[in-house]
Amino acid sequence: MSGKLQHPDRDPDRRQFVAQEQAPFGAVLSCIDSRVPPELLFDTGLGDLYVMRTGGQAADPVVTGSVEYGPMTGGTPLIVVLGHQRCGAVKAAYQSMRDGKPLPGNLQAIVKALRPAYEQAVREGGADPVETMARAQVRLTATALRSNQDLAPLVRKGSLAVVGAYYSLDTGKVQVLTGAPS
């Protein structure tokens, strides 16, 4: 937030250190938005994070499997579902569902994946329904991962936390919405 970046783990030593095997400390599911690359937001380097990015953090079985890979096979202790302010994917999906106008081609698959968040936003109301929907999408996606049959046992054991968080484009702040480890 203050701009004091350390740019860790980006030199040739680090590259060689992780060349044979990796042990990232987190897996991040975030949006494709060009302004929210997790590796840069969290000031990380080579071998630090698994990163999955889809429009509005929309998840399907392939995405979910990719998120699960680290925690299920390598003991990665943290999953972060990261939403963000002014998400274009959430906004487009909101407008599509509100107006009953499907988006063209494969974009509609994202709209479908975001329907539960849309419905929750409609129920919650609020001054800015798109922001409400973006936060709902984070919470719903984190909760679904935390309680699915493969990850729930790891969460119960205390070896995995699934956190939902929200990134402010304006301030650079990441706010934890759900699942902060106790």
Q: Provide the binding-site residues for Zn ion, judged by CB under 5 A.
A: 31, 33, 87, 89
Compute the least distance from the CB of residue 176 to Zn ion, in Å: 18
CA pair distance 83, 90, nearest whole angstrom: 10
Q: Nearest approach, Cβ of 66 to Zn ion (angstroms)?
A: 18
Instruction: Give the nearer residue to Zn ion in terms of CB position, either 31 or 49.
Output: 31
| Nearest CA-CA partner of 160 in 77, 79, 81, 75 | 77
> 14: which residues sit within 8 A by CB, 6+ positions away?
8, 45, 46, 47
Closest distance to Zn ion from the beta carbon of 101 (Å)? 20
**DSSP readout, 36-48?**
--HHHHTT--TTT
* Residue given tokens 């934890």 in the structure block: 176
- As measured in angstroms, the least distance from the Cβ of 167 to Zn ion is 10
* Cβ nearer to Zn ion, comparing 89 with 160: 89
Return the number of the residue (134 or 161) whose C-beta is nearest Zn ion. Answer: 134
**Residue 174: CB minimum distance to Zn ion, A:** 14
Closest of 63, 58, 64, 167 to residue 117, by C-alpha: 58
In the complex with Zn ion, which residue's Cβ is closer, 151 or 165?
A: 165
Closer by beta carbon to Zn ion, 37 or else 47: 37
Please give the torsion angle defined by the CA atoms of residues 123, 124, 125 and 130, in that order, rounded to the nearest 10 degrees.
Answer: -100
Q: Least distance in Å: CB of 97 to Zn ion? A: 16
Nearer Cβ to Zn ion, position 68 or 131?
Answer: 131
Is 141 within 8 Å of 90 (Cβ atoms)? no
Torsion angles phi and psi, residue 110, rounded to 5? -70, -45
